[in-house]
Chain A
Amino acid sequence: MLSENSHFVIEKLREIYESILYSSIGESAGRAVLLLLRRNLKRDPFIVLWEDPIAFHKALEKVLGVGARVLVRLLVNVLTESGLTINSDYFLELINRGAVEEIRSYLMKIADSHGKK
């Protein structure tokens, strides 16, 4: 059972991620990516993104191959627009290192900054 706070973060991430996907690669392609992720993870990809961001990224790599980093870049762009200083290479490094807590803190910051808007 998800806590209320986790539920808020997951819904915010869904909202932000969908918006980024649709505006950058088009709505139908974005929906297709999410569909493929769901099939691959056999769960809601945004719950996985929050609970196990490494697994989410691995699934994304399975779907998009090397193009997965493109979506990481687009997500990190949102962070920098919100005033956080981070680049996509560092975020990918966190994923490779398995730094779950640090990744989650960034995800919370994304959700928090957009939740206030």
Chain B
Amino acid sequence: MQGENVLNLLQKYGLTKTQAQIFIHLIKAGACSVGELSKSLKTNRMNIYRNLKSMENIGLVSVIPGRPMKFSAVPIDIALNTLLSAAKSKVLEMESSYATILEAISKISEQQREYTIEAKFRFHSGRRPIYAVMMQMLEQCRVEACLLTTPSDLICLSLCGFDEALKKLSAMGIKAKILTNIADEKIARVLRDYAKYAVIRHAEVQLKTRLLIVDDKMAFTSLTVEDSINPDSENDSGFWTDSPQYVGSVKEFFNIAWRNAQDASAVLYYLKTGKVMEKIITFNEVEEYHRHLVDVLERAENEVLLYTGRFREPYLTRDIINTLEKICSRGVNVKIITYLDEYSQFLEKISNTLMAKIKHAGFESASISFIIIDESESLVCCFLSSNLGYIAQAQGFWSNITGFVQVLEKVFMELWSKATNPSIRLAEIQFRKAIKEMPEVLAPLAKERGFLFKAPAVVKGSSGLNHKFNLTLSVKGSNKPIIVCDYLPENNDVEAALVSLYVKAMDVKANLKILLIPTKEMVNIIERELAVAYGIELIDGLHPAELCHKLLEIIAL
């Protein structure tokens, strides 16, 4: 034991281990040859010889000539003084060159600074070694520590004293931020301890990642954290780095997640009271909107209020229609507002029950759709068209924020009160199609009866003004039309259409004035009286043949 101590002490005086062993052996055994020393110290002759030569040069051993040549140790006090003097002169030499080296090195470092920063990456595996690294990082923290991890990892970290390390940081006035998914009461309890020393926020996304960033200088990353609460788990790995680029980018990621996260106290309140947490989930794909829409519809229990810009794809899909049919059949009260047009889909295939729930919006706003479910959740989507006119993208969000849902519901009900019966709108669409096809059907029939037929026609009136009619019939050989006919315009203003036809017909001195309309139901009593007063015949029909037949019937009379 004492020999070991001496060996160590001699090494502190500047001897190597072998040199110290040789010196002690020579003191104990007296003068020895290289062979004897090699045998006693169990090392090769060359090694012994090399060390003896160095020791001779320093003045620790003296040579005794002979065959074989032997070496003896100088007295210990001389040896120690010799070693002390050598060390002192070495220190003096170092001190004298201190300033010179400092100046020379600083010049080199200035020139080479940008090349000398070399990032380090170190891989670690096993949970305890990883936690040790994280603790070391916290010890070096001077400004801020940011941790993103799983709830299980936080529990496990607290078992290993991570919260105590945060407590020390807090005592030093150093900020700590923790971002995690506060899923249940269990994690909420653990977080109450953490909350004393750190600001905690709730991230909606359940990431399996662990990320510790300290002072924007170093980061520890585990891409996947095993979901156990075992501190001795070997199934855990990650890497530490001080790469400024990497640390900068993960910090940016953390900051974005932090900004979008909710304050933990609010989440803890919801967990404590059992209330549903108010939140917003955004999306930016049309398919995502469809998925959300089907999801919320399937959750509906009492009422669904759906405003959809158009009744066709991509605003709706077959899946969505099927889901609407399904919830209708299980007694959910569905109300749908949409802009029905000639391109509307699914209408022929949907049941009468669902059809009865649809109303036509009198305005064309295709870009927005929204839905309110059971007065508790809402989904809003804005469709963005490409330059070529097709829907390329969607941006929207789901929300259960009570105030927002209530506002949206009021907007829907306001629109609902102004929306019209879809049967009238569908009749209009069919009527527009019929009047496009009508001239082709009417032309041969009119010819058969000796009429000249024009659609559209321009006729000069007695005022000198040229009047345009949708259709005229005149007797062969006569320039003047005897029958003038207009179709109800797109704005469905029957009164204005009657006044227009009356004035034009009066100017061209027509014998018979006819206004074609989709259905009689679209004309109120005042409009009917105006038509009678103006002597205008109203003909209704949704098919070209029907309209032609009625027109010719009136002419025959």
Check: A71 CB closer than 8 A to any chain B CB: yes
Q: Tell me the bound Cα distance from A67 to B500 in angstroms.
A: 10
Q: Is the CB of B499 within 8 A of A70?
A: yes
Q: Return chain B residues, CB-CB under 8 Å to A66.
A: 529-530, 533
User: DSSP class of B's interface residues: helix, strand, loop or mixed?
Assistant: helix
Q: Return chain A residues, CB-CB under 8 Å to B402.
A: none
Q: Is the CB of B495 within 8 A of A70?
A: yes
Check: B445 CB closer than 8 A to any chain A CB: no
Q: Is the CB of B530 within 8 A of A67?
A: yes
Check: A35 CB closer than 8 A to any chain B CB: yes
Q: Is the CB of B499 within 8 A of A25?
A: yes
Total contacting residues, chain B, CB less than 8 A = 23
Q: Return chain A residues, CB-CB under 8 Å to B503.
A: 25, 29, 32-33, 36, 63-64
Check: B463 CB closer than 8 A to any chain A CB: yes
Which of B495, B500, B501 neighbours the largest number of chain A CB atoms within 10 Å of its CB?
B500
Q: Return chain B residues, CB-CB under 8 Å to A71.
A: 499
Q: Is the CB of A70 within 8 A of B496?
A: yes
Interface size class of A (residues with CB under 8 A): 10 to 19
Check: B466 CB closer than 8 A to any chain A CB: yes
Q: Tell me the bound Cα distance from A74 to B237 in angstroms.
A: 77
What's the minimum C-beta distance from B136 to chain A, rounded to whole angstroms?
71
Q: Which residues of chain A from 34 to 81 have any CB-CB distance to chain B below 8 Å in the complex?
A: 35-36, 63-67, 70-71, 73-74
What's the minimum C-beta distance from B493 to chain A, rounded to whole angstroms?
7
What's the minimum C-beta distance from B538 to chain A, rounded to whole angstroms?
15
Q: Pick the contact of B504: A29, A35, A64, A73 (CB < 8 A).
A: A29
Q: Is the CB of A32 within 8 A of B496?
A: no
Check: A26 CB closer than 8 A to any chain B CB: yes
What's the minimum C-beta distance from B222 to chain A, rounded to whole angstroms?
64
Q: Is the CB of A64 within 8 A of B499?
A: yes
Q: Tell me the bound Cα distance from A73 to B496 in angstroms.
A: 10
Which of A36, A63, A65, A70 neighbours the largest number of chain B CB atoms within 10 Å of its CB?
A70
Residue of A nearest to B496 (CB): A24
Residue of A nearest to B501 (CB): A29
Check: A85 CB closer than 8 A to any chain B CB: no
Q: Is the CB of A26 within 8 A of B498?
A: no
Which of A24, A28, A71 neighbours the largest number of chain B CB atoms within 10 Å of its CB?
A28
Q: Tell me the bound Cα distance from A25 to B497 in angstroms.
A: 6
Q: Return chain B residues, CB-CB under 8 Å to A73.
A: 495
Q: Return chain B residues, CB-CB under 8 Å to A63.
A: 503
Residue of B nearest to A63 (CB): B503
Check: B35 CB closer than 8 A to any chain A CB: no
Check: B461 CB closer than 8 A to any chain A CB: yes
Q: Which residues of chain B from 483 to 499 have any CB-CB distance to chain A below 8 Å in the complex?
A: 493, 495-499
Q: Tell me the bound Cα distance from A8 to B498 in angstroms.
A: 32
Q: Pick the contact of B467: A29, A36, A65, A67 (CB < 8 A).
A: A29
Check: B534 CB closer than 8 A to any chain A CB: yes
- 1/0 per residue, CB under 8 A from A, across B107-120: the answer is 00000000000000
What's the minimum C-beta distance from B58 to chain A, rounded to whole angstroms?
107
Q: Is the CB of A28 within 8 A of B529?
A: no
Q: Return chain A residues, CB-CB under 8 Å to B465.
A: 28, 31-32, 35
Q: Return chain A residues, CB-CB under 8 Å to B496.
A: 24-25, 70, 74
Residue of B nearest to A24 (CB): B496
What's the minimum C-beta distance from B375 to chain A, rounded to whole angstroms?
33
Q: Is the CB of A26 within 8 A of B500?
A: yes
Q: Tell me the bound Cα distance from A35 to B530 in angstroms.
A: 22
Q: Taking A26-B468, A66-B530, A67-B495 as contacts, is the C-beta distance between A35 and B463 under 8 angstroms?
A: yes
Q: Tell me the bound Cα distance from A31 to B460 in angstroms.
A: 13
What's the minimum C-beta distance from B27 to chain A, rounded to whole angstroms?
115
Q: Which residues of chain B from 208 to 229 have any CB-CB distance to chain A below 8 Å in the complex?
A: none
Q: Tell me the bound Cα distance from A35 to B504 in angstroms.
A: 12
Residue of B nearest to A73 (CB): B495
Q: Tell me the bound Cα distance from A25 to B534 in angstroms.
A: 15
Q: Return chain A residues, CB-CB under 8 Å to B493.
A: 24
Instruction: Provide a sorted-by-A list of 12 A–B residue pairs whose CB atoms are within 8 angstroms.
Output: A28-B466, A29-B501, A29-B503, A31-B463, A32-B503, A32-B507, A35-B463, A65-B534, A66-B533, A67-B534, A70-B495, A70-B530
**20 new A-B contacts at CB < 8 Å, known A64-B502, A67-B530:** A24-B493, A24-B496, A24-B500, A25-B497, A26-B504, A28-B461, A28-B467, A29-B499, A29-B500, A29-B501, A31-B463, A31-B465, A32-B506, A33-B503, A64-B503, A66-B533, A67-B495, A67-B498, A70-B495, A74-B496
Closest A-B pairs by Cβ, 3 of them: A25-B500, A29-B500, A29-B503
* Interfacial residues, chain B to chain A (CB-CB below 8 A): 461, 463, 465-468, 493, 495-504, 506-507, 529-530, 533-534
